[in-house]
Amino acid sequence: MAAVKLIGSPISPFVLRTMIALSLKKVEYELLPEKLGEKSELLLKSNPVYKKIPVLIHHDRPICESAVIVEYIDQVWPESGYGAILPADAYHRALHRFWTFYVDDKLFPSLVAIGKAETEEAKAEAVEQFRAGLRLLEEAFVKLSEGKAFFGGDHVGFLDVMLGCFVVWIEAMEEVLSLELLEEATMPALHGWVVSFRAHEAVKEVMPESGKVVEFFKMIRAMRMKAAADAAN
Amino acid sequence: MAEAVVLLDVWVSPFGQRCRIALAEKGVAYEYKEEDLSNKSPMLLQANPVHKKIPVLIHDGKPVCESLVIVQYIDEVWSDGAPILPADPYARAQARFWGDFVDKKIYECGTRLWKLKGEALQEAKKEFIEILKVLEAELGDRKYFGGDAFGYVDIALVPFFAWFYTYETCGGFSVEAEAPKLVAWGKRCMERESVSQTLYDPLKVYEFVGFLKKKYGVE
């Protein structure tokens, strides 16, 4: 019986966040994927408030919400693997948490809006909003990294994990929609960060294959378009 | 040094009040600066360029934004006062989860209660009562959300206690009828100086929302 279980699969960027954290800490766990369209008893029991993945179950106690889970992992296994994820000083912790709020509250919804846009205009607007958000993160990266490879400096930190989980989705959407979202020209530092992040051993271990994410994105897009067409008839 | 800590805020903001309560609980001296949101100060625009919103805590010239980030920062920096977040990792995770729940649900749904009419209002009322019931169940028979100690979730939620009158009046329901334990909890929190000195009279909040309704053209 594994002491640590994680409900979900890495196709979900929020699940991927928690997997990256567990991987950084070299913590062993049992992954319990959910079936698409069906929620397991365990999930409903463990996360009655939101009924969503990821849920970390540690010694039979559930922890929900990806940001909460990553902070929990960092606190329970402080020195394991690659060491601390949250920065050492309170001010930098506040900055990583502030930008995580921004990523979850503004950046991620604008990414979703790109995928859901039904007209060219709506798509263009969503793309511009997303790029504007990335430009803010470019500036934040320059300040926080202090010339090193990650938001956490020379090691992968909280914001690296909280933002890095979307990299494979950004790339998948760029491919399927023939767009450039993370523009090398206007976001050179972030571009460099993506390379460093993807190259990290702990990240490589859990990052889903680009091909799988592309297929999944195409599938949900097709499902959504069919649902819209059916509703219109 | 009092001038080392500045809080940019607006009197009625429940988000700003979270920070004021946390600072009071820790006994931290600070300078309070009231912002005029129709005429934002250069200090605010510089301190929070991303959102241009209050509250912002400026500590030794360094700005911290987002009310719950600020509360955690206060807890970590002034660590010799009573802890706001519990030390135990699991208890801390539960506190963060519920603080996040309050953050995601109360203000957005509550705002719909005074801004909307008809079907949309009824929908908001249903949702808000559901939120109250979830919080009521989570609180149970405990003194505070943190157990015996006043903490993070209490701080996240209690500013909205002064908004219950507005929400129930606009929504046409009674918070006490739907969540009596929650109301008792609010009254207990009000016995703490940090809370009673920070929250405004519910009627004053209602009056303020009346002014907002006129501004937004809500009947």
Q: What is the pLDDT of residues A2-22, one digit of tens each?
A: 799 999 999 999 999 999 999
Question: Is the CB of residue B65 less than 8 Å away from at least one CB of chain A?
Answer: yes
Q: Is residue A156 part of a domain?
A: yes
Q: Could you tell me if residue A233 is inside a domain?
A: no
Q: Can you give the pLDDT at residue B3?
A: 55
B76 neighbors A92 (Cβ within 8 angstroms):
no
Q: What average pLDDT does the segment B79-84 reach?
A: 92
Asked whether residue A144 falls in the same domain as residue A178, the answer is: yes
What residues contact residue B84 under an 8 Å CB cut-off, 6+ apart? B22, B25, B26, B71, B72, B74, B75, B151, B152, B155
Domain match, A193 and A135 both: yes
The C-alpha angle A219, A222, A226, rounded to 5 degrees, equals 140
3-state secondary structure of B144: strand
In whole angstroms, how far apart are CA B153 and each of B98, B141, B146, B192?
6, 15, 7, 15
Whether residue A142 lies inside any domain: the answer is yes
Domain tally for chain A?
2
Please check whether residues A21 and A118 belong to one and the same domain.
Answer: no
CA separation for the pair B64, B57 (Å, rounded): 5
- Check pLDDT > 90 for residue A102: yes
**CATH number of the domain that residue A192 is part of:** 1.20.1050.10
Cα–Cα distance for residue pair A75/A229, rounded to 1 Å: 48
- Residue B1 pLDDT greater than 50, yes or no: no
**Residues A16 and A117 placed together within one structural domain of the fold:** no
pLDDT tens sequence across A174-197 = 999 999 999 999 999 999 999 999
- A143, A50: one domain: no
Which tokens hold the place of A28?
């062993």
Task: Specify burial of residue B107 (Cβ count, 10 A radius: 0-12, 13-18, 19+).
Answer: middle
Task: Tell me, yes or no, whether A190 and A120 share the same domain.
Answer: yes
What does the mean pLDDT of chain B come to? 96
CB A163 within 8 A of CB A108: no
Q: Which of B66, B92, B134 sits opposite A98 (nearest CB)?
A: B66
Report if residue A124 sits inside a domain: yes
Share of chain B above pLDDT 90, in %: 95
**Nearest-Cα residue of chain A relative to residue B99:** A68
* Residue A65 within a domain: yes
Report pLDDT for A167.
Answer: 97
Same domain, A58 and A170: no
Same domain for A16 and A41? yes
Query: Do A72 and A95 sit in the same domain of this protein?
Result: no
Neighbours of A31 (CB within 10 A): 15
Task: Look up residue B2 and give its DSSP letter.
Answer: G
**Do strands A55-58 and A4-7 pair parallel, antiparallel, or not at all (unpaired)?**
antiparallel
End position of a domain, from candidates A42, A76, A110: A76
Is A231 part of any domain?
Answer: no
3-state secondary structure of B62: strand
Would an 8 Å CB–CB cutoff place A35 in contact with chain B? Answer: no
The beta strands (E) that lie in chain B are given as 5-9, 31-34, 56-59, 62-65
Q: How far apart are CA A221 and CA B206, in angstroms?
A: 45
Question: A65, B64: Cβ pair inside 8 Å?
Answer: no
A3 touches chain B (CB under 8 A): no
Q: How many Cα atoms sit within 13 Å of A163 on the Cβ side?
A: 31
A149 and A195, same domain (yes or no): yes
| Parallel/antiparallel/unpaired status of strands A30-32 and A4-7 | parallel
**What's the CATH number where A20 sits?**
3.40.30.10
* pLDDT exceeds cutoff 70 at A206: yes
Note whether ipTM > 0.90 here.
yes
**CB within 8 Å: B62 and A91:** yes
- State the pLDDT confidence band at B195, using cuts at 50, 70 and 90: very high
Of the pLDDT bands very low, low, confident and very high (cuts 50, 70, 90), residue A105 is very high
Q: Which chain B residues are closer than 8 Å to A72 by Cβ?
A: 89-90, 92-93
Those residues with Cβ within 8 angstroms of residue A38's Cβ, 6 or more apart along the chain or in another chain? none
Q: Is it the case that residue B121 has pLDDT exceeding 60?
A: yes
- State what percent of residues in chain A have pLDDT above 70: 100
- Tell me: do A140 and A194 sit in the same domain: yes
Q: How confident is the model at residue A1 (pLDDT cuts 50, 70, 90)?
A: low
What's the whole-number mean pLDDT along residues A215-231?
90
End-to-end Cα separation, chain B, in angstroms: 48
Which of A17, A42, A76 is the C-terminal boundary of a domain?
A: A76
Residues paired with residue A58 on neighbouring β-strands, in sequence order: A4, A61
**Region B131-142 average pLDDT:** 98
Inter-residue contact B191 to B124 (CB < 8 Å): no
Domain assignment present for A228 = no
- The bridge status of strand A61-64 relative to strand B5-9 is unpaired
Are residues B76 and A93, on separate chains, in Cβ contact within 8 Å? yes
For residue B2, the model assigns a pLDDT of: 47
Determine the Cα–Cα distance for residues B127 and B142; give it in Å rounded to an integer.
24
**CA angle, A128 as apex, A124 and A129 as ends, to 5°?**
120
Do A172 and A209 touch, CB atoms closer than 8 A?
no
Mean pLDDT of the region B26-44: 96
Same domain, A94 and A208: yes
Which among B73, B90, B101 is the nearest to A49, CB-wise?
Answer: B101
Q: What is the spatial distance between Cα B147 and Cα B50, in angstroms, rounded to a whole number?
A: 36
pLDDT for A144 beyond 90 = yes
Query: A59: domain range?
Result: 4-76
Rounded to the nearest angstrom, the minimum Cα separation between A99 and chain B is 10
User: Measured between CB atoms, which of B66, B89, B134 is closest to A72?
Assistant: B89
Residue B9: C-alpha distances to residues B18, B43, B63 (Å) = 11, 12, 13
Interface of A with B in 88-127 (CB under 8 A): 90-91, 93-94, 97-98, 101-102
| C-beta atoms of B64 and A75 within 8 A | no
Does A123 map to a domain?
yes
